[in-house]
């Protein structure tokens, strides 16, 4: 009887070891985004809540492989972004986004990652290019004020969101 019990323990141990080995061959997660990045459609997103200049923010994003400041191509992207923003840093009111004025044609804008502009969400009266000096764009979310505003690139520091293609 005692010998039989021991055999069963050995069998169970063997099975457990085998299971561990099988488990180690399976990726821990099906996520294709790095740890702490948020996955949405074909991209990964990371919000940095510490304010930075537009240039610092762009550089920070580019230091992530293939990263850029966030682009917002559709209203669905916009909804995702707002939900993600609320999740990470709900008290933040202004962030840099990857939209920038075309220096050769001040009526035009482009996204840092070269996707086409299909959706815009300008605040009333924006973009106003005050003093012809507002080349960068912030996304503002305050109580009665939600949308994009062109703003001077320098001397302003805001949190920002990076994105990069999902692997
Ligand atoms: Ca403006």
**What pLDDT is recorded for position 54?**
97
At 84 the pLDDT is 98
Q: pTM, whole model, 2 decimals? A: 0.80
The arithmetic mean of pLDDT across residues 152-163, rounded, is: 96
Instruction: Provide the 3-class DSSP secondary structure of residue 100.
Output: strand
Q: Which of 107, 134, 139, 110 is nearest to 122 (CA)?
A: 139
**Residue 127 alpha carbon to ligand 1 centre in Å:** 5
Does 26 have pLDDT greater than 70? no
Nearest Cα residue to 160 out of 144, 139, 131? 139
Q: Is the pLDDT of residue 20 over 90?
A: no
Tell me which H or E stretch contains 10: helix 2-25
What is the model's pLDDT at position 95?
A: 98
Q: Do 50 and 95 touch, CB atoms closer than 8 A?
A: no
Whether residue 56 is predicted with pLDDT greater than 90 in this model: the reply is: yes
Phi, psi of 97 (to 5 degrees): -120, 170
Question: How far is the centre of ligand 1, averaged over its atoms, from the C-alpha of 128 (Å)?
Answer: 5
Give the closest residue to 138 by CA, choosing from 98, 85, 89. Answer: 98
**pLDDT value for 144:** 87
Q: What is the mean pLDDT of residues 23-34?
A: 58
CB 127 within 8 A of CB 136: no
Could you tell me the distance, in angstroms and rounded to a whole number, from the CA of residue 135 to the centre of ligand 1?
9
């Amino acid at each position: 009887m005692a010998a039989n019990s021991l055999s069963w323990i050995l069998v169970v141990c063997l099975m457990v070891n085998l299971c561990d080995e099988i488990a180690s061959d399976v990726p821990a997660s099906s996520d294709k985004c790095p740890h702490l990045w948020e996955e949405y459609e074909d991209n990964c997103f990371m919000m940095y809540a510490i304010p930075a200049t537009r240039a610092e923010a762009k550089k920070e994003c580019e230091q992530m492989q293939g990263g850029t400041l966030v682009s917002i191509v559709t209203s669905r992207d916009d909804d995702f972004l707002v939900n993600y923003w609320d999740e990470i840093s709900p008290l933040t009111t202004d962030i840099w986004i990857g939209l920038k004025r075309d220096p050769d044609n001040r009526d035009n804008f482009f996204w840092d990652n070269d996707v086409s502009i299909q959706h815009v969400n300008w605040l009333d009266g924006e973009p106003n290019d005050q003093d012809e000096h507002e080349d960068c764009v912030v996304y503002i979310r305050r109580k009665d004020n939600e949308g994009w505003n062109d703003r001077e690139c320098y001397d302003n520091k805001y949190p920002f969101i990076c994105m990069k293609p999902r692997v």
